[in-house]
Structure 1
Amino acid sequence: MNEEEAWRYADELRKRVRPPEFPDRWFDVTGFGGGETWTRAFRAAIETCHESGGGHVRVPPGTYPTGAIHLLSNVDLHVEAGATILFSTDPADYLPAVFTRFSAIECYNYSPFIYAHGQENIAVTGAGTLDGGAGPEHWWWWVGTPAFGWRPGMPNEADDWAALQRMAADGVPVEERVFGAGHHLRPNMIQPYLCRNVLVEGVRIVRSPMWEIHPVRCENVLVRNVSIHSRGPNNDGCDPESCRSVVITGCVFDVGDDCVAIKAGRGPDGRRVGVPCEDVLIEDCDMRYRYGSVAIGTDTTGGIRNVFVRRCRWGGPGLYFGLYIKTNSVRGGYVENVFVKDVEISELTKEAVSIDLYHGDGHNGDDPPPIRNINVAGLRSDRTRSAYLLRGYPEQPLRDVTIRDSTFAHVQRADLAADITGLTLANVKVAAPPS
């Protein structure tokens, strides 16, 4: 598709992805129990709402300690201003293990804090707070890094992560890839899995163990006006994975990893499932910290196509990349039809546009991913390390990359383009810092 077709398609996508509608029935969680933990009250309120034909579960002002919350069809979990859902730091409160993905590989693991499987018309809305309770004392140290609280002699996720990757490579059935109790693979904050018509709107998310909003194999997903502040390890902001028709709009991301990361499964497991991520629009968002502003990958195995980014703000001390397409010949898959326009960049410590096939494992596999039809226009950047870094493979060059009508000030070092066919630079102005 060309630019005109792309933005027309993006406008149609914006109209197509509509929020679910709910009956005007309200069920106050305080009417279903309470006390030291609200886990049973949330479960009872959601089940009653669902069985009554749907509506809203109201969480009024106050603090509500709880374990996992599982949404059901036609239920909106509405967290009012002044309300905080405070998630337990006890891993046992997220058992039994559920069908999920850890770092893009299917398994059974601790339940995500807010989880839904195979549901339709679900939402988390309101101006309240979702507090994961994570920090160096809880959850984050599982990553095995001293900076996040781990100390020698403590367990961590390394052995479990290696075991899960081996299971996927060996074709172990997903039902036998069971982690959870006694293991250390961190759960995500919000994960709808195989759901349709999903809305996350207005809430503030803090202190998540890992990825914040992670829809997997969902269709018609709207993430709107959400504010995320969680600088923990692997704390991606919003990671649509193997989804179709996703709109992320008006959000603030101040997170410990990629702000938005589009994914499609990893390695042998991604090839087995074989579901792409497609038709994703990101607009009017503020990306402040820390790795990629809009990342595509590293988990690209199922393929990623039709990604549109417009009217966003990228930058701040400690934010690394702008558009960050990262994969390699181990991950495979493909990335095609990525369009970016009208982005303001205040400061990035690395590139405004990075497309790198040597990310992570480098060129050590036999599945070199085709990357094609990437179009960037209207970037206005105050400070970056480089304007762009573009690296394909000799036998699989990047194809048809355009950067136009963009200005890059205070650029620290030369741009790089290697193994690329069809690079177009038009009206691109790059200026070094004044001497």
Structure 2
Amino acid sequence: MTTASNTLRTIGAFFAFFLFMESAYSQQAKVWTSTAEPLKEMEQVRKQIKAPVFKQKDYNITAYGAKGDGATMNSAAFQQAIAACSANGGGRVVVPAGRFLTGPIYLKSNVNLHLENNAVIAFSRNSKDYPIVFTRWEGMECMNYSAQIYAYGEKNIAVTGSGTLDGNADNDNWWSWCGKPVYGWDKDKPRQQPARDSLHTLMHANTDPRKRIFGEGYYLRPNMFQPYNCKNVEISGVQLINSPMWFINPVLCENVIVNGVKVKAHGPNTDGCDPESCKNVLIKDCYFDTGDDCIAIKSGRDEDGRRIGRPAENHIIEGCDMKDGHGGVVIGSEIAGGARNIFAINCKMNSPELDRVLRIKTNSSRGGIIENIFMKDIRVGQYKEAAIHATMFYEKPGNFMPTIRNIWVENLDVEDGGQFGVFVNAYEVSPVKNLRIVNSSIRGVKVPMKVDHATGVVLDNVTINGEKAIVPANTK
């Protein structure tokens, strides 16, 4: 059989499979017809999210030998205080005022790591202090450096208070590993790209994730806070600065609260909050000023995301303030497990360095279904690229057609837009379905709408640059 014939058979089989899956999922597809519907669903999600509760007993880390002088290594003191707290039924491990240097912290069940006013936990800049643990790195499972605060399979854990988590990263440490001169890299320094390529190869080959061993000498940067496969997780009140990579990254967790935190760093890939394959998540009253996405909802990359098959579902983003970042509310790109029931309300965004307001990014290497996205009462000063941005062509293509459907945006008010008002770029065989924009005004954009392959687009009382927005002629 000829190569051309093989290619045609492969393409035919692929589209047959896609049409079958599309039919299989069509009965589950939802189309909201009024604002009341998603608002009711959001409140049902809110009722499912409960803050963890802790025993009223404190364990001050100074009682275990910790010194807040900024020079003493306090890893053992943190470990001992957390172990004692957990063994005795839980409570608060208290960090008083001072600068406490430490290696990674492992958070155990029923422990609330509480930072008092003027308390700083400063994490080691020495990669040799970081043990190898089971983790996700950019949506791929592997053995790599522990996050600066890590937990696996624990229940009822929290980081609270008014102090600061300092990841201690800068262009002289951690950030240069990204391999970009703007972050301090030059040809005589190590970089992460070879290990990143190797991890992609191992994932594509479906190797045992626990045999994908990285860590020292591979330069895959750790995240700051990564509870993995945990239940009842909270991080609230604290300031987070200068993470080596992503800041808040719960993975495969259920019942997660991110409340009143302030996140700031302009390093490479310093996303603010990236819940991966999590269920029932509340991100409320937070401030993000980041070098990458402010909030990015994820569910795994390619083979790993599809193998695990856990979508991101039931997320509420409320009352957040977003400044610099590649996107304000982002879904993807590591989204192979899909995403559904994502609600964002009463948020503010404003920066000439904020690229997009709502961003959905996926591709046919990921696949998966992204559906039921509701955004309401969003006030935007400036942005750079697009207010609503959905693409199926982020990174390399593959053989797993993605689906994007049922998106409702209401009361979006933009003072000074960027290149596009609305940007949609999808496959002809898998158009973005049922995008509805209601009672919204976008001003100051160069191109009002650029839509390639969308169906069911509805514009209800929408103006762009002061004129009534019209559904593009190329939509069905």
Confirm or deny a common fold (TM above 0.5).
yes
Task: Please say if residues 307 and 339 of structure 1, whose CA atoms lie closer than 8 Å, have aligned partners that are also in contact.
Answer: yes
Find out whether 1:66 has 2:66 as its counterpart. no
Which residue identity is paired with 1:370? Answer: T
Letter in 2 for 1:77: L
Tell me the distance in 2 between the aligned counterparts of 1:416 and 1:184: 39
Q: Does the 8 Å CA contact 1:411/1:432 hold for their aligned counterparts?
A: no
1:404 to partner: Cα distance: 1.2
Structure 1 equivalent of residue 314 of structure 2:
279
Counterpart in the other structure of 1:404: 438
Cα offset, 1:251, TM superposition: 0.1
Cα deviation code 1:166-193 (max 9, x no counterpart):
0011111111101112110000000000
Partner of 1:382: helix, strand, or coil?
Answer: strand
Q: Which residue of 1 aligns with 2:63?
A: 31
- How many angstroms apart in 1 are the aligned matches of 2:81 and 2:221? 27
Deviations 1:109-133 (A, max 9, x none): 0000000000000000000000010
SS of equivalent to 1:415: strand
Deviation, structure 1 residue 417: 1.2
Counterpart Cα distance in 1 of 2:210 and 2:234: 29
SS at match of 2:214: coil
Q: Does 1:321 align with 2:339?
A: no
Instruction: Give the secondary-structure state (helix, strand or coil) at the position aligned to 1:372.
Output: strand
Task: Give the match's secondary structure for 2:316.
Answer: strand
Compare 423-432 and 194-203 and name the one that shifted more. Answer: 423-432
Residue 15 of structure 1 aligns with which residue?
A: 47
What corresponds to 2:38 in structure 1? 6
Q: Of 391, 398, 415, which aligns to 1:365? A: 398
Partner of 1:310: 345
TM superposition shift of 1:4:
2.1
1:211 aligns with 2:243: no
Which residue number in structure 1 is paired with residue 12 of structure 2? none
Q: What residue is the counterpart of 1:110 in the other structure?
A: 145
Kept in 1: contact 2:66–2:78 (CA 8 A): no
Q: Distance in 2 between matches of 1:5 and 1:414?
A: 28
Q: With the length of structure 2 as denominator, give the TM-score of the two structures.
A: 0.89
The letter of the residue matching 2:381 is: S
Aligned equivalents of 2:194, 2:437: Cα separation in 1: 43
Which sits farther off after the overlay, 411-420 or 22-31? 411-420
Q: CA deviation at 1:360?
A: 2.2
Mapping 1:113-262, distance limit 5 Å? 113-262=148-297
Deviates more, 1:314-323 or 1:42-51: 314-323
Q: Which of residues 432, 447, 458 in structure 2 aligns to 1:413?
A: 447
What is the deviation of 1:154? 1.5
The runs of at least 4 aligned residues of structure 1 exceeding 3 Å deviation read none
Moved more, 301-310 or 32-41: 32-41
Greater Cα radius of gyration, structure 1 or 2: 2
Mapped partners of 1:13, 1:268: distance in 2: 29
Q: Which residue of structure 1 aligns with residue 84 of structure 2?
A: 48
* C-alpha separation in 2, matches of 1:157 and 1:389: 32
1:309-335: CA deviations, max 9, x gaps? 000001212110000001111111110
The one-character-per-residue Cα deviations of 1:77-111 (angstroms, maximum 9, x if unpaired) are 0011100001000001111x000000000001000
Shift of 1:414: 3.3
User: Which deviates more, 189-198 or 383-392?
Assistant: 383-392
* Normalised TM-score (structure 1): 0.97
Gaps of 5+ in 1: none
Deviation per CA, 1:203-241, whole angstroms, max 9, x where unpaired? 000010000000000000000000001111000000000
Q: CA deviation at 1:432?
A: 6.9
Please say if 1:383 is aligned against 2:416.
yes
Distance in 1 (alpha carbons) for counterparts of 2:448 and 2:263? 34
Report the counterpart of residue 374 of structure 1 in structure 2: 407
- The separation in 2 between residues aligned to 1:378 and 1:341, in whole angstroms, is 6
Given candidates 62, 70, 81, the residue that maps to 2:117 is: 81
2: CA distance, partners of 1:177 / 1:238: 25
Contact 2:195–2:219 at 8 Å: present in 1 too?
yes
